[in-house]
Structure 1
């Protein structure tokens, strides 16, 4: 069985895909998955499900939800139940099942190892595979208490970091021309994330488009000044200066 939270919450078993479809039980499963292998107290689960407005019989209702969730997983062929009662709450034990975010982390770890060893093609493949696990926003439109919100924030940042490392690996293996379009797109989506602008400038310069690389600098400089009143970071300024000087090192190295 496979649990997927890098997108809408769902459970898969081979070709079979199942979604809970019960809005109060979804945050329960999501929290147990995020904290898999750890005991999650009943009071914490109540906060995740109902936030600051639990019903009068919250504990009894939680027990019902746990029972329904166990039945849902059993119907998919899970035996014995992965959800175990452990005072003061419950723990989800993955056992032989997999969780997509764990696969994501493993692929990112592998990609970092390849990048450190300068195996840029292998690094690119690992980072691409990691990003390929995402099916949309983490947990879709599901919202809950502090565990789910904290995880969602972490996961989206991890996704952007992986994207940065993918661009870096692809630049290192000489794929600058094919990166220009996606880098233009991602700088529009994340206009204040300076690393993406840095990669765009370098890709443009290596593609023989020096004037556009300098225009990209001016664009982000204006955006940063207008939106938050700051100048570009040192890395962007140093890259601009290196481009003006046609520094030969830019033809071979990733801007630091």
Structure 2
């Protein structure tokens, strides 16, 4: 059985240890098949992803040669497997892969589960998402992001990572862990300065830690940043948090899981 990791540089693990995929075209091919998560992709799309504008003269043969090479490589890693992982269908090529064999698919499934989980057990949610976020080893595909399709997939998985962070911070705030989360929230807000949810959560954590002035300064800097970069004002949700801080709203108390804190972004 193989497992594929793309939340970081591409890794393939076998029963005997890690395996390498050599050659940029082979890496682009398997990465493109992986981000389709078991769905078919047309030969034309694969050609464009692999070669861009430098398409070879006989693109069909060139693609088929790389498909055959990848099949042989994967077969060598699973000698007991009776069928090829890479198959061709009327709609294109498909890499057979189970959800549990791809870290990105397992990660997005966990985030979706956390999205619909009840708020009754924030500790379980925090543990679940903490474990999921620990799967990330760096940017998707590391220093080899591939072509347009892979880059779009990278952006999609990164959005899931941001949402997982938001949900985990919400759970930790419900548990009263505002002081412990301050450093992580500060980093998240600094690294993603236009993501208002991180700003809201940082303001709440600062306020609960007795740092009302710092919380309001974070809001003012965010307001200025949004105005300078995008020409917009803070969202109603972010303004509600500012108003709650100014009025010392009891909903901001550390032991009160108030809607102002936990409503979805």
Shift of 1:140: 1.6
Q: Distance in 2 between matches of 1:68 and 1:164?
A: 42
- Kindly indicate whether residue 122 of structure 2 is the aligned counterpart of residue 124 of structure 1: no
Shift of 1:160: 0.7
* Secondary structure of residue in 1 paired with 2:127: helix
The CA RMSD over aligned residues, in Å, is 1.9
Q: Distance in 2 between matches of 1:97 and 1:233?
A: 38
Structure 1 equivalent of residue 104 of structure 2: 101
Q: Distance in 2 between matches of 1:239 and 1:131?
A: 26
* Secondary structure of residue in 1 paired with 2:232: coil
Contact 1:183 1:196 in 2 (8 A): yes
Distance 1:180 1:63, change over 3 A: same
Q: Structure 1 length as normaliser, TM-score?
A: 0.92
Contact 1:3 1:97 in 2 (8 A): no
- Kindly indicate whether residue 88 of structure 2 is the aligned counterpart of residue 85 of structure 1: yes
- Kindly indicate whether residue 173 of structure 2 is the aligned counterpart of residue 171 of structure 1: yes
Distance 1:225 1:41, change over 3 A: closer
Q: 1:158-195 deviations in whole A, cap 9, x for unaligned?
A: 11111111111111111100111111111111111111
Q: Distance in 2 between matches of 1:211 and 1:60?
A: 66
Shift of 1:40: 2.0
Q: Distance in 1 between matches of 2:196 and 2:99?
A: 41
Q: Distance in 1 between matches of 2:125 and 2:218?
A: 27
151-160 or 221-230: which moved more?
221-230
Q: Flag structure 2 segments of 5+ consecutive residues without an equivalent.
A: none
Q: Flag structure 1 segments of 5+ consecutive residues without an equivalent.
A: none
Contact 1:111 1:122 in 2 (8 A): no
Q: Distance in 1 between matches of 2:91 and 2:34?
A: 17
Q: 1:21-52 deviations in whole A, cap 9, x for unaligned?
A: 31011111112112243222221211110122
Q: Structure 2 length as normaliser, TM-score?
A: 0.89
Distance 1:199 1:71, change over 3 A: same
Q: Distance in 1 between matches of 2:165 and 2:91?
A: 39
* Secondary structure of residue in 2 paired with 1:44: helix
Mapping of 1:35-184 within 5 angstroms?
Answer: 35-78=36-79, 79=81, 80-87=83-90, 89-94=92-97, 98-114=101-117, 116-184=118-186
Q: Distance in 1 between matches of 2:136 and 2:99?
A: 22
Contact 1:82 1:95 in 2 (8 A): no
Q: 1:232 aligns with which of 208, 218, 234?
A: 234
Contact 2:7 2:139 in 1 (8 A): yes
229-238 or 162-171: which moved more?
229-238
